[in-house]
Each structure stands twice: as C-alpha cells, then as structure tokens.
Structure 1
Amino acid sequence: MYADRNDGVCVIRTYCATEPGSHRLACFPHLTEYPSSYHRLSGQLLPGVEVLSFQYAANQPDGTPVHIRDIEELAEQSLQALLEWTDLPLALIGHRGGAYLALLVAQRLEHRFGVTPSTLFVADRAAPSEAERREWRKPSCRIVALTGDTSPAGYASHLAWREFTSGPFDLEVFPGSQQFPYGDSSQLVNLIHDQLLSLPQPVLLPPE
C-alpha cells in the first residue's frame, strides 16, 4: 500500500501493510537514500507497527541526487504529507540528514497541529549545531539517539540531543558500526517495539 502525493514534493509509501497496526513509524531517510532501504525494518516491525517512508523530490528517478537548498521548505512539505497519517500513535525516525528533518517535522506537528509524536528516534547524526539552532518551542516527545560505539560522530555529540526536547531522552549505543538502516536491525526492532508497544500510548486524532 502506498500514498503518493502528486505535487512533486515527496512520496510516503507503506510497505508490507497487510493488516492494520496499532502504531505508525514514519522514516526520514538520509537525503540521498531511498524508501526501499526500510523494507526489511518494515517486515520485522509488523504487524504491530506500520512503517511509512519518505521519498524526497531531490532523489531523481535515475538515482542522481539533487542538492537540497532549503531544509525548512522540505520539512514543511514533509509535514503536509504526513498529516493524513496521524490517526494512529505516531513515531518518527531519521537517519543522518533525515534526523534533523524529523526534528523539524516533530516540532511543527506538536506546536501547530497538537500532534505529539510518541518518540523521535535520531540515528547516526550529531545533535544540531549552533548554526542550525533556531528560536523555537521544543517538542515534548521522547528523543532516543541511536549510534554505534565506533561512530565517528562520538558519544557526546549524540548525548547533546537531550537539549532538543522538553520530554524524556535516551541514548542507545549499539556495538560496532550500526550502519543504519543497512546493518543488523534486530536490536533496533526490539528497541522500537519496547518504546512503542510496551508502554500505553494515547490515540492521536487527525488534526481538524
């Protein structure tokens, strides 16, 4: 099943959704990655968690990446595409450049539409720099930073993500290089299930 926006902005695709889940996980790939990177993760999370994955307009059909000049505009376009999927408890996960994009979307979801993601997972990306910080209201969702213990970004740079939420924060360090989303995803799947399925979550209604 997939939902395809026709305005040339991005595509949200749901893979392997053979039955309704109780939660949704929206995946924000790195800016030159593709939705197909999340096929395996989707299959492992079903049936409890439906996986949505963004395809950015910057990824051309022939695989040639186009430089994204305005991350704020991409966040706005991604937000609009995601709004129709907020009828279930929603979590976000972003990889590298997609982690910062997911943060921008989480902030907009909560403070403009009253939809608070249950968890924001940020993988293989240092916390935003001073140049990327803006005067804004922090989201209140839990942030979980994901990294490998050999990550070049370092422990401290991932720990700094705690400054970007007014809610809980966790740092999960996996052995070796995580190589998300291409490496062994079993630990990540267990973590997501623990975060989304083990704790009671409120049902998020679609914004009016």
Structure 2
Amino acid sequence: MIGGDRDLWLRRFHGGAATGPRLVLFPHAGGSASYFHGLSGLLSPALDVVAVQYPGRQDRRAEPGVRDIRDLADRVTEVLTSGDEAGAGRPYALFGHSMGASVAFEVALRMERRGLPVVRLFASGRRAPGLRRPELPGGYGDASLLAELRLLSGTDARLLDDEDVVRMIMPALRDDYRAIGVYEWRPGDVLGCPVTALFGDEDPRVGEDDARAWAEYTTGSFELIGFPGGHFYLGERAGEVAKIIVDRLA
C-alpha cells in the first residue's frame, strides 16, 4: 500500500545526489508538484529532490481535495517515513511555498516528534503560522478566487479568461483556500531545526514582518531573505533560490 501511496504523493523529476539530505518541495494553494520542475532541475545535481502532489489536481483530480492541513501533513509524513522513502536515516530538508510552507511546517513537526532528522525548513511566501487573517476577504466564490489569482500573478492572465481552464482548477483551489483558512497554529508547536524564511518584497499578502515572525517558531537558527518580486518571485529567482538552498544544505 505504501508503494502505491508513494507513487501518488511524491514526484521525482530528475535523478538526484546519492548522498546528503533529501529535499521535499510543497506547492502553493491550487498548485501541483510540476510547479517545481525547473527548481528540481537546478537542485538535483547536489540534492535528492522530490515534490509533493496533493490530491484533487492534475492526475489526482478524481480524488477529494485538501480539506485539512493537519490531515494532509499526517498523510505526507506517513509516506515520507515509511518503506523505501524512509531513506535509511537520510536527513530531510523541507521547502514549502505559500500554503506549502504551512504544510511543510506541520510535516517538520511530525518528523521531529518521531526523532527523524530534519536539517532545515525553507518557508517561502507565507506569513508565520500564528499570524491569522482572512485568506480570501471576499469569500470562496469563483469571482473572489479569480481576483486573488490575478492579484498574486501566479497564473497567466490569459488562462483565467478560458472557462475550461477555470473550471478545471477551481475545485482544488477552493478546497486549498478553505483548508488554509481554518488552519490554526497550536501554541507550543515549535521546531528545533533551522528555519529560512523567503519572501518577495512586492508580495501583496506577505510582508517582511510577516516572514520575519517565523523566527518565533523554532528554537534553532533563523534567517530572513528577501527577493525582488511579488508572491511568485520564485518564477524569476529560481537560480538564486537554488543557490541558497544548496549553500545551506551542502
């Protein structure tokens, strides 16, 4: 069963390094593992890289989408720590963008509680876990979701005018936003591993102080790194981000 789960949940786009940490990439709300294909290519000469494929999108469209961040983290953790993916004690590093940073944080908590080595969390484009505010001030209707996509500029605007594309992406996007909207950090949930918070300096949803607040959620070291760009700065800064990741994990 775990083998089948692994094929569903984890995507390896490139051959990776045989030694060193395994880096797990967690996509944003409405996103898929393929978002990280380019970053994986940049990282794979130095690291073993896998990307998480959430249910409810692409080849998993027939499955129920994300309903609860903690349940999602439970399921991902089980896949990562069972069978071949346990990696014979190989250390893990986690990189999450936007909603993916919250999922990665929860997975890191679970791994540390099991005594598994987590060497660093990279939290990208997401405010710290305890900073709550409405995810979608206009609610979860199609118009509000589309307005958010246009604000964040994560999807080609021309695609958002295509009714078939919108119909395809809307269910997973709505589920993801609802899940992150009800997610609440539990006091005392603090990591021991180092945390690197990354953000775009023109992000309309995550300011510098929002990213800096991640320092309060680890007893390990913390660093804050800003980039020119908006919420999806990663699209234009993948090479710089890859260098930072490799430098921190080498």
Scaled by the length of structure 1, what TM-score is found? Answer: 0.82
2:77 aligned to 69, 79, 82, which one?
79
Picking from 94, 97, 114, the partner of 1:95 is: 97
The unaligned stretches of length 5 or more in structure 2 are 133-182
Give the direction of change, closer, same or farther, for the CA distance of 1:31–1:151 in structure 2 (3 Å limit): closer
**Amino acid in structure 2 at the alignment position of 1:110:** E
> How far apart are 1:31 and its partner, in Å?
3.4
SS at match of 1:42: helix
Q: Which residue of 1 aligns with 2:137?
A: none
**Which of these residues, 142, 151, 176, is aligned with residue 203 of structure 2?**
151
- What's the CA shift string for 1:41-72, capped at 9, x where partnerless? 11111222111111011325386996522111
- Distance 1:58-1:48 versus aligned 2 partners, 3 A rule: same
- Which one of the candidate residues 48, 51, 61 is aligned to 1:50? 48
Distance 1:180 1:15, change over 3 A: farther
The answer to whether the 8 A contact 2:234-2:241 is kept is no
Distance in 2 between residues matched to 1:5 and 1:143, nearest whole Å: 30
Structural mapping, 1:156-175, within 5 Å: 156-175=209-228
Q: TM-score, normalised by structure 2?
A: 0.69
Determine if contact 1:21/1:47 at 8 Å carries over to the other structure. no
Distance 1:18 1:127, change over 3 A: closer
Paired residues in the alignment total 193
8 Å contact kept, 1:17–1:50: yes
1:18 offset after TM fit, Å?
5.7
Counterpart in the other structure of 1:117:
118
The answer as to 2:241 corresponding to 1:188 is yes
Who wins on radius of gyration, i.e. which is larger?
2
**Secondary structure of the residue that 1:57 maps to in structure 2?**
coil
Give the letter for the 1:39 counterpart.
Answer: H
Task: Give secondary structure in 1 for the equivalent of 2:203.
Answer: coil
Partner AA of 1:138 in structure 2: V
Q: 1:65 to 1:75 in 2, by over 3 A?
A: same
> As a proportion of its length, which structure holds more helix?
2
Alpha-carbon separation, structure 2, partners of 1:20 and 1:110: 23
How far off is 1:180 after superposition?
A: 4.8
The worse-fitting range, judged by mean Cα deviation, of 187-196 and 83-92 is 83-92
> What amino acid is aligned across from residue 77 of structure 2 in structure 1?
L
Structure 1 or 2: more strand by fraction:
1
AA in 2 matched with 1:148: G
Q: How far apart in 1 are the matches of 2:115 and 2:238?
A: 31
Shift of 1:89: 2.2
| Shift of residue 39, structure 1, vs aligned partner | 1.5
Cα displacement string for residues 112-167 of structure 1 (whole angstroms, at most 9, x for unaligned residues): x1013111001111112357220344110111110111122111111111111111
- Between the aligned partners of 1:6 and 1:108, the Cα distance in structure 2 is 22
Match of 1:36 among 34, 37, 40: 34
Q: CA RMSD in A?
A: 2.5
CA contact (8 A) 1:92 1:119 kept: yes
100-109 or 8-17: bigger deviation: 8-17
